[in-house]
């Protein structure tokens, strides 16, 4: 599942800004965070997260958004 699809399916999360706040709260124990602009770049495919961030996103989404979803990381995971 792509991160934008995961975001769209979260109840009570209507905006990208709300999702960034939600995501960063859960990424904090992983030692990671994302900005609103960076999330937008991830969603539009302009950026690829580091392997550490991609793994952290996989953890906080309960495996819904896997490392393999990101172009360029699918072969390394």
Rounded to whole angstroms, the Cα distance separating 72 from 74 reads 6
pTM above 0.85, yes or no: yes
Q: How far is CA 64 from CA 3, 37, 38, 47, 58, in A?
A: 9, 22, 20, 19, 7
Q: Per residue in 18-64, pLDDT tens?
A: 999 999 999 999 999 999 999 999 999 999 999 999 999 999 999 99
């Amino acid at each position: 599942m792509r991160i934008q699809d995961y975001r769209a399916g979260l109840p009570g999360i209507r905006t990208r800004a709300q999702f960034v706040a939600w995501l960063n709260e859960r990424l904090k124990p992983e030692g990671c965070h994302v900005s609103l602009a960076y999330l937008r770049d991830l969603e539009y495919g302009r950026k690829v997260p580091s392997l550490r961030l991609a793994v952290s996103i996989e953890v906080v989404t309960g495996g819904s958004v896997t490392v393999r979803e990101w172009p360029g990381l699918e072969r390394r995971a």
